[in-house]
Amino acid sequence: MNRRGKVSLVFCCFAICGAAAVVRSGLEFPRQPARPAELYEVVWQQISAFRTADYSRAYQQVSTTFQERFDIQAFAELVRTDYPDLLRAQHVEFGGAQIAGRHALIQVYFVLGDGDVVPVLYGLVNEEHRWKIDGVRVDKRWPIGRRLGGMRG
């Protein structure tokens, strides 16, 4: 291949790569910053599903990473055996939210029938433009009378 053919081939490769970059950037939509209400809604959908024992609907709210660790049967068993108090909570209050790119943390307070409060930290991840629950950390129960100051659900 002569020099002119090689230069044309290299130029053609750059043109194809440039066109691909332009097309790809045109297909990506800029992500709007998440609002805490979006995150609260994901958690509330799961809590609502738990309250009606609809574990398949609750399972839809978890991330693919979480689903790789637990199939739906293991997930349902985990919820029933490890978190029975949360399933019987009288009401739920949402606390603060911290959002950093694709990841978020929100504080949720489960108020039990006896007045005790169970604080739970939810970790969420944005997968394909949808927020999903990636993990939870249940903290030590608070005694009756501790003030929350969050939003009730």
Whole-number pLDDT of residue 136: 95
47 and 109 share a domain?
yes
Please check whether residue 125 is in contact with residue 102, taking contact to mean a CB–CB distance below 8 angstroms.
Answer: yes
- The tokens for 140 are 């030590």
Q: What angle do CA 144, 140, 68 make, to 5 degrees?
A: 135
| Coil, strand or helix at 54 | coil
Q: Are residues 66 and 1 in the same domain?
A: no
**E strand or H helix that includes residue 8:** helix 3-27
Q: Count CB neighbours of 86 within 10 A.
A: 18
Distance CA 134, CA 17 (A): 36
CATH of the domain at 78: 3.10.450.100
Contact call for residues 118 and 138 (beta carbons, < 8 A): yes
Looking at the structure, tell me whether residues 26 and 52 fall in a common domain. no
pLDDT, tens only, 86-106: 888 999 999 999 999 999 999
Q: Which domain holds residue 144?
A: 33-152
How far is C-alpha 20 from the geometric centre of its chain's CA atoms? 31
Name residues of the chain where pLDDT drops below 70: 1, 3-33, 145-153
Same domain, 46 and 93: yes
pTM of the model: 0.73
pLDDT of residue 89: 92
Give the pLDDT score at 16.
Answer: 52
**3-class DSSP state of 71:** coil
Q: Are residues 40 and 76 in the same domain?
A: yes
